[in-house]
Amino acid sequence: MSLSTSKGGSSTNKSATSERSTSLSTGSKTSEKPNVDTDDIDENDESGQNIILNIISQLKPGCDLTRITLPTFILEKKSMLERITNQLQFPDVLLEAHEEKDELERFLKVIAWYLAGWHIAPKAVKKPLNPVLGEYFTAYWNLPNKQQAFYISEQTSHHPPESGYFYMIPESHIRVDGVTIPKSKFLGNSSAAMMVGLTVLTFLDIMDKNGKPEKYTLSQPNIYARGILFGKMRVELGDHMIIKGPSYEVDIEFKTKGFISGTYDAIDGTIKDKKGKEYYEISGKWNDIMYIKDLRTRGSKKQVLFDTHKNKPTKPLVRPLDEQGDYESRKLWNKVTDALAVRNHEVATEEKFQIENYQRELAKKRVEDGVEFYPKLFRKAEPGEDLDWYIYKHIRNNASPEEQIKDILEIAPILPGQKFTEKFTIPAYKKHEIQQKELSQKKA
């Protein structure tokens, strides 16, 4: 079932869309699009190197980069909230995993799905824009099976920078919740984003041995930008990604190249059950071809787990810019990304400064007024939950796909033509409390 407009969306409410606009005069035209994507260009000219050296002179190894203003020429033209969707751009693999009846084979396909998206990145060394507090991003996918997938994310915390996200394919009973927490550090000739967050994948209609929906927890490798001071700049994924299911788990090591030996981008891992019995070995490169080998059969040959060259990502779809609220990622950063697209770093820097400076003013006022910030779309976790933040709305596992879609579209505008409702600006924790009371009254 595919939807194109909201069911039950109300007319636009002024209070819901009265967030401060960040429209600023750029003083130059930035709408012209270049023939080459500027995300694929290494901006390593002399002025750029001087900016980097100026920043580095203020740093000490191990310090937190999130508090440092980085030059715009190393920025990707998208916010971290949108960057997260890279891991969701192979829904066909996820749908295959859900349809697989054998639990071990299903686990293999979950691994393939989660490994699939890490190679989606600019060709140059670029980092996504740091979302501001309260920034949000929504998207959807029209899937080949005529179903739709929905995505909602929000920047729930600034220090540390936590991004909460929610993804669902209701008609296939697939749900993904997650929190991304990139803790940046300066390491000398490298910078590192230590990825502390976690992703939780749930197949709502497949029950484990305890009668609960089958759940997988998936951690993230760390990201290193090499060659900041000398040598060629490049990105490496490093350290460990741990994926756990009801019966099986795998620790996949992302190997970084040594000074003398080794190779770039290699991965290595062994799939085991909870008792330690080994089933498959994973090898290859995360940005090339990844393989599995059956360890239970002597002399078995490697088979392709996922080929990044033969599988094309399915990019998310987003509502038109003129329908978005001022704190939606693409609208919020529009003048910055337009300037980056034509390599006008002077304008990009000024626009970025205006946005971030306003955030500093808001933070200062909250302190003066003794007011705490509350996200609009995500609530803090309750005891026993896997993540720090969850989407505020309770979406019943046993509800029909039509009811689940209706609930999702009431959280925030996702599809073209949807309108903001009066409830949108209410803090998430209050909306959650209201819904919990309503559910309790229905049970009574």
User: Does residue 412 contact residue 165 with C-beta atoms inside 8 Å?
Assistant: no
Give the mean model confidence (pLDDT) for residues 234-241.
Answer: 95
Among the listed residues 408, 323, 423, 397, the one whose alpha carbon sits nearest the alpha carbon of residue 3: 408
Q: pLDDT tens for residues 15-55?
A: 343 343 333 333 344 444 446 788 877 665 444 455 555 55
| Percent over 70 (pLDDT), the chain | 85
Q: Say which residues have a Cβ less than 8 Å from residue 53's Cβ, sequence separation at least 6.
A: none
Q: pLDDT tens for residues 322-350?
A: 999 999 999 999 999 999 999 998 999 99
Q: Sign of the C-alpha dihedral, residues 73, 68, 82, 265?
A: positive
Average per-residue pLDDT for the chain: 87
Q: pLDDT tens for residues 140-170?
A: 999 999 999 999 999 999 888 999 999 999 9
What domains, with CATH codes, occur in the chain? 14-443 (2.40.160.120)
The pLDDT of residue 71 is above 80: no
CA-CA distance, 5 to 353, in Å (whole number)?
A: 36
Q: Give the count of alpha carbons within 13 A of 239, CB side only.
A: 12
pLDDT for 240: 97
CA-CA distance, 45 to 438, in Å (whole number)?
A: 60
| Percent over 90 (pLDDT), the chain | 72
Q: Which residue has the higher pLDDT, 262 or 388?
A: 388
The pLDDT of residue 5 is above 80: no
Helix H or strand E encompassing 153:
strand 148-157
Q: Could you say which DSSP state residue 119 is in?
A: G
CA-CA distance, 434 to 420, in Å (whole number)?
A: 19
pLDDT for 439: 82
pLDDT for 17: 38
Q: Say which residues have a Cβ less than 8 Å from residue 210's Cβ, sequence separation at least 6.
A: none
Give the mean model confidence (pLDDT) for residues 380-397.
Answer: 96
Q: pLDDT tens for residues 364-383?
A: 999 999 999 999 999 999 99
pLDDT for 18: 38
pLDDT for 358: 96
Q: Sign of the C-alpha dihedral, residues 320, 325, 329, 335?
A: positive
pLDDT for 159: 84
pLDDT for 255: 96
User: Does residue 339 contact residue 75 with C-beta atoms inside 8 Å?
Assistant: no
What SS3 class is residue 72? helix
CA-CA distance, 150 to 137, in Å (whole number)?
A: 11
Beta bridge partners of 240: 253
Would you list the DSSP string of 313-362?
--PPB---GGGS-TTBHHHHTHHHHHHHHTT-HHHHHHHHHHHHHHHHHH
Q: If pLDDT is split at 50, 70 and 90, which confidence band does 73 have?
A: confident
pLDDT for 64: 58
Helix H or strand E encompassing 127:
strand 127-129
pLDDT for 233: 83
What SS3 class is residue 198? strand
Among the listed residues 183, 256, 269, 270, the one whose alpha carbon sits nearest the alpha carbon of residue 226: 256
Q: Which residue has the higher pLDDT, 391 or 190?
A: 391
Which residue in the block uniquely carries the two structure tokens 């490169």? 285
Asked if residue 160 has a cis previous peptide bond (ω within 30° of 0), the answer is yes
pLDDT for 184: 84
Residue 425 backbone phi and psi in degrees, to 5: -80, -10
* Number of other CB atoms surrounding residue 244 within 10 Å: 16
pLDDT for 58: 57
The pLDDT of residue 296 is above 80: yes
> 3-state SS of the chain: helix, strand, coil percent to 5?
30, 30, 40
